[in-house]
Structure 1
């Protein structure tokens, strides 16, 4: 990790030699597209940003229409804390976003909205950015088990029956981990799957390497949710409702929930299920962070641990209108959220819990 950190710093210092001084780091552009998750794409390109004096890990001031905010320039949504703003700089696109949120709704912007970006602090986010630059290894030999490699495990806390529901990496992503996820799903006799990040089309592209998964799909035992990663909003709420109704309306199954890595969307849904079934905040956080340990070897004594672990209290506090959630009121807060925001009935929620116990 130390070696990577030094290389990372050198890389960005080299980039800085191409940039103009801080006084010249400013750009005016506009929003050209807003995607289904509320991310706002800009007319300016990454190459133009670098030419005008901006680099990844800079902190910038942004005005989008009447909305003003500060954000770091990063590569991925998870490079900032849950709920925070970011300017995402990819090779071909620049976008404004909120990690697990809907930027367009929050900022009240639309296509054509004018945007001004000015440099606040060059490399002001560098240390945090380095901390989050985690890349999983695709070498099975570096992992202690197939389960760890495939980020595959049962939900066991609270009243959930052991072996009743599992979470994992995607069995149909078509990469090094997917075959292990498929094998473990079959080994654990999974009979119904909730594919949070897929459509039938995207999943079927990799059915050749996942015959067991294809069999379940052909039997209508896979619920293709195609959920975005921007928590909240009408679309996300509708997708979460679809997910929970699938469990409520399919009793007697052994379920598997997965997204791509089995980390964020899967973490949100499993946090809801664990809370409904009596798990504590600590147990839910431990389960959520197990994915970071499995994928990136992030342990409790690592600097990154608390950055990612704060996602769980953020999720539940957000469900509770910004008020703190404790073990005592956790289940009732989640139930109220599912009824008021998601549109489930109390009977449907009870069916979800019954089918997992």
Structure 2
């Protein structure tokens, strides 16, 4: 019995020695087997601290009072997962940080869109976050890293490079995103789509205006701007706005000032009014928003469908 007990004790001692040795080796050779407190501490320390939340009345989201460069210098990277906590208690957890609107409709994100002055928090093409979150002037927001590169696959797959230099494009049409609408029984030369011919924040307005004028456009459906915004563009124009203003002065520009929520009641009401306005005017017609992509794409798809276009 004593011999058996001694053998057992010896065997147990050897076994425990092996276990301890493996654990020590594993810490060095297989670091993924352990929790890395230093790494966790580094990730949790990536935060903006409290920033002012700034209302964006056009689209209903919230700018944060920090530039994109400053935000990224804190350690945030496109494709990261982040948490956003507002001072009123509203919180968005585990949402992506992208440099474009790569989430599905109605999904929240933090976005550093090229040309934006600040980092932006919103719901993609959905209800206005400012109202949903119950935010008000003076509220603050804190962004904290949730998980490093959790959404990197989406970011890499959809990552777009933006340039506002004419020399980077093959033609004026490509630069101005200008092209005729086609679909169903829509006649050739009746309707066109483009980037804005009046809002020159992306350097495309002179090109869009020139191409539209050459195509004989007589009526403009401006999805992006209000009448007040158009007047502001006139006052600060750095190119010849004579053609656009000549149409505007005789009532041939309909300014809808649409947001991005194409499922919302305001969007539907204003768009219906704009389409009724088109009926009252002779073409050719130009439909545009700011870049000529999202709002323009939705409205053109709708019109083409009404004209019998196939899926």
Superposition RMSD in Å: 3.3
Correspondence list, 1:185-264, <5 A: 185-198=212-225, 199-204=229-234, 205-206=236-237, 208-250=239-281, 252-264=282-294
Superposed displacement of residue 239, structure 1: 2.7
Alpha-carbon distance in structure 2 between the residues aligned to 1:273 and 1:113: 41
Contact 2:99 2:159 in 1 (8 A): no
Gap change, CA 1:148 and 1:92, over 3 Å in 2:
closer
Return the structure number with greater helix share.
1
Alpha-carbon distance in structure 1 between the residues aligned to 2:68 and 2:211: 41
* Count of equivalent residues: 260
Structure 2 runs not aligned, ≥5 long = 1-39
Q: Secondary structure at the match of 2:126?
A: coil
TM-score by length of 2: 0.69
**For residue 346 of structure 1, what is the aligned residue in structure 2?**
none
Superposed displacement of residue 188, structure 1: 1.5
Q: Secondary structure at the match of 2:145?
A: strand
Confirm whether residue 74 of structure 1 aligns to residue 98 of structure 2: yes
Superposed displacement of residue 266, structure 1: 0.7
Superposed displacement of residue 238, structure 1: 3.4
Superposed displacement of residue 71, structure 1: 1.4
Confirm whether residue 100 of structure 1 aligns to residue 121 of structure 2: no
Confirm whether residue 40 of structure 1 aligns to residue 62 of structure 2: yes
Q: Deviation per CA, 1:114-159: give whole Å up to 9, x if none.
A: 756442221333343344232135235741x433332212212012
Superposed displacement of residue 46, structure 1: 6.2
Gap change, CA 1:47 and 1:215, over 3 Å in 2:
closer
Gap change, CA 1:89 and 1:176, over 3 Å in 2:
closer
Gap change, CA 1:141 and 1:274, over 3 Å in 2:
same
**For residue 22 of structure 1, what is the aligned residue in structure 2?**
43
Contact 1:24 1:53 in 2 (8 A): no
Structure 1 runs not aligned, ≥5 long = 1-18, 282-357
Alpha-carbon distance in structure 2 between the residues aligned to 1:31 and 1:53: 20
Match of 1:57 among 79, 87, 90: 79
Confirm whether residue 274 of structure 1 aligns to residue 304 of structure 2: yes
Q: Secondary structure at the match of 2:120?
A: strand
Superposed displacement of residue 43, structure 1: 6.2
Superposed displacement of residue 167, structure 1: 0.7
